[in-house]
Amino acid sequence: MTRPVLPSGWQRLHVRVTWVDLARSVLSLLPAALSVWVFGIDPGSGGTWPLFGLAAVGLIGAAADALRWTFTRYRITLTHVELTTGVFRRVHRSIRRDRIRSVDTEARLRHRLAGLRVVKIGAGQQAAAGESALRLDAVSRADARALRRLLLPPAPAVPAPRESPESPDTPDGTKTSDAPLTQPDSLAPLTQPDSHAPLAQPDSLAPLAVFARFEPRWVVYNMFNFWAYVLAAGLAWGGYWLLSGFGVDVSGAVSGLLDREGTGRAWAVAAAFGAVSAVGVLGLAVSYFTEYWNFELARVPGRDGTLLRTRRGLFTTREVNRDENRIRGAQISEPALWRWLGIADTRVITTGLSMWAPSQPADILPRGPVTAARRVTGQVLGGADNPLETPLAPHPHAALRRRLVWATAVPGVLALVLSWLTLAGAVPAATLWGPAALWPCTLAAAAVAYRALGHVIAGPYLVTRSGLVTRSTTALRRSAVSTIVIRESLLQRRLGLRTVSAMTAAGEGGYDTPDIGRDESLAFAVQAAPGLLAPFVAAGAEGDSGCGRGDSNPHGVATNRT
């Protein structure tokens, strides 16, 4: 298939995008058409409006997408990647090629069926600047691969691309080496004739090391979740509207079922709860398999150094490449409710990736067992000792006292306000049981939060652990720490505690270590940012307010250099 090459090197997105739009329109019309022509439902009756709504949304979406395709051009020059798009509001974006940090591909089912890939080109500081990556939606699979190799060429000595199970791949290894620049039509010969790519397959380079692969057993860790109920509710709601669009009386059928059972209301509620839970849990299990099918976490060669690549997905495939030069650490989060099961989420701390993006590009593993999370993270971070397996120093008991004070103060104040309101006759006296019931819970929470605390300096990393609802263990490279903040509230001052925060450009911007003992906190802070605090460490340990010039303490310097 030949591609229209426009003058001045500007290129359109792949033409199959419009075919996909056409197919989408037809598909979205299908349910309404079936309902009216096949099942003979009267379109005037109220039940069919969801189907017509679906059709309208589908048609409008497809038309807008086709319009977008018409008005979108991109080009790759020697120095920049440029994209112009937009019908009413023209947008021109360009990214300097030497700033490009990631080229990720993604494909929904419709892209997969049409042999297309969405390519996202990210430049370093985009997360801080609130800028999204440049998005090419969509180009052919071969073009996506060629773009990746063009924009992020691997280091010279790279093993040949892994053989793929199906249709012969074009020899892209040679292609990149003799086409380092970028006449856009140099991509054209790479276009594959066959458009159907039924299976996920390596879209890029052979890995240097594979850290983790898809684990079917981990489905257990992904099944039990609050989202099960949201999912079940969504499924039930969608099913209800769909069926009523075809003239099925769902609510009547359900109430009929309940009547025939003739059991009590409590049993009915319990049965409904059980059914909803089962549907939700099953739904999450299926979603785990579809989302993480073919998962692989690997180190692959990149332009300057190595990349950490995750690849996953059965219908929607997603590949994320992270520049390892920008990785500053890792974080393992364990939700409190599932601590007994050892569930953990794993993410890397890196600059240039948004921690809050819905696609969660920083996550490097699916939710899984914490032991595996620690092991894999240790391998990813490298080095002889795994910082996340280093035993942590506990915090002083004063930290527990501080939490107990707060755990008592909150229900206490609540009780005071309520008793005032009771005396004023605004609320019944029985509401005072609320704070009374709350107190043991907050005390227990205080103990849990205290037990979560821990910190240590492990080689090049500082490791800190805290959190009540989610216990997060963070390993942050000490050389990445910029600002050090030490905080002390009035209560902390009384209890001899301090909170040390290490601020960094990566990840969440800063990581707190709450409630370290006062003396220990300075040692920790001094080690957390090597060399930074040394000039400000006073000679005496006690009450040195007469701060003269140049009294930076040799002892302090020595501690910090070791």
Q: Which CB, 217 or 555, lies closer to another protein?
A: 555
Encoded tokens for 405: 């004070």
Which DSSP category does 114 fall into? T
| In the complex, least distance from residue 510 CB atom to another protein, rounded to whole angstroms | 4
Span 494-523, contacts to another protein by CB under 8 A: 496, 498, 501, 503-506, 508-510, 518-519, 521-522
- Check whether the bond before 138 is cis (ω within 30° of 0): yes
Identify the residue among 37, 541, 561, 562 touching another protein (CB under 8 A): 541
- 483: contact with another protein by CB under 8 A: yes
Site stretch for another protein (CB under 8 A), options 50-58, 270-278, 378-386, 485-493: 485-493
Identify the residue among 537, 554, 557, 562 touching another protein (CB under 8 A): 537
Distance CA 153, CA 135 (A): 19
Distance CA 472, CA 334 (A): 6
- 22: contact with another protein by CB under 8 A: no
Closest CA relative to residue 240, chosen from 47, 508, 499, 521: 47
Encoded tokens for 174: 């040679």
- 556: contact with another protein by CB under 8 A: yes
Exposure string over 349-373, b if 16+ CB within 10 A, otherwise e = bbbbbbbeeeeebbebbbbbbbebb
| In the complex, least distance from residue 425 CB atom to another protein, rounded to whole angstroms | 11
Distance CA 382, CA 363 (A): 18
Identify the residue among 469, 487, 554, 558 touching another protein (CB under 8 A): 487
- 403: contact with another protein by CB under 8 A: no
Decide: residue 317, CB within 10 A, 0-12 exposed, 13-18 middle, 19+ buried: buried
Site stretch for another protein (CB under 8 A), options 131-139, 283-291, 301-309, 530-538: 530-538
CB 413 within 8 A of CB 448: no
Site stretch for another protein (CB under 8 A), options 34-42, 184-192, 435-443, 536-544: 536-544
| In the complex, least distance from residue 349 CB atom to another protein, rounded to whole angstroms | 12
| In the complex, least distance from residue 324 CB atom to another protein, rounded to whole angstroms | 14
- 183: contact with another protein by CB under 8 A: no
Q: Write each residue from 340 to 359 as x if it is in contact with another protein (CB under 8 A), else as -, in one continuous string.
A: -----------x--------
| Cross-sheet strand order for the sheet of 296-302 | 134-140, 116-123, 100-107, 317-323, 305-312, 296-302, 209-213
- 99: contact with another protein by CB under 8 A: no
Site stretch for another protein (CB under 8 A), options 26-34, 140-148, 204-212, 550-558: 550-558
The pairing of strands 470-477 and 497-504 is unpaired
| In the complex, least distance from residue 152 CB atom to another protein, rounded to whole angstroms | 18
Distance CA 470, CA 474 (A): 12
Q: Which CB, 215 or 520, lies closer to another protein?
A: 520
Radius of gyration of the chain (CA): 29
Q: Which CB, 389 or 544, lies closer to another protein?
A: 544
- 528: contact with another protein by CB under 8 A: no
Q: What is the sign, positive or negative, of the torsion defined by CA atoms of 165, 171, 177, 179?
A: negative
Q: Which CB, 417 or 437, lies closer to another protein?
A: 417
| In the complex, least distance from residue 545 CB atom to another protein, rounded to whole angstroms | 5
- 557: contact with another protein by CB under 8 A: no
Distance CA 119, CA 13 (A): 11
DSSP strand E in 273-339: where? 296-302, 305-312, 317-323, 327-335
- Per the DSSP assignment, residues forming a β-bridge with 299 are 209, 308
Identify the residue among 390, 484, 527, 557 touching another protein (CB under 8 A): 484
| Phi, psi of 300, deg, nearest 5 | -125, 155
- 239: contact with another protein by CB under 8 A: no
| In the complex, least distance from residue 133 CB atom to another protein, rounded to whole angstroms | 18
Encoded tokens for 196: 């159907």
- 538: contact with another protein by CB under 8 A: yes
Find all residues with CB under 8 Å of 87, minimum gap 6, and list them: 67, 68, 71
| In the complex, least distance from residue 347 CB atom to another protein, rounded to whole angstroms | 17
Find all residues with CB under 8 Å of 3, minimum gap 6, and list them: 11, 12, 14, 15, 185, 188, 191
- 57: contact with another protein by CB under 8 A: no
- 257: contact with another protein by CB under 8 A: no
Identify the residue among 194, 260, 546, 562 touching another protein (CB under 8 A): 546
Q: Which CB, 185 or 519, lies closer to another protein?
A: 519
Q: Write each residue from 116 to 155 as x if it is in contact with another protein (CB under 8 A), else as -, in one continuous string.
A: ------------x---------------------------
Find all residues with CB under 8 Å of 114, minimum gap 6, and list them: 16, 17, 19, 20, 195
Residue count, binding to another protein (CB under 8 A)? 48
List residues binding another protein (CB under 8 A): 128, 326, 351, 424, 480, 482-490, 493, 496, 498, 501, 503-506, 508-510, 518-519, 521-522, 529, 532-533, 535-538, 540-547, 549, 551, 553, 556
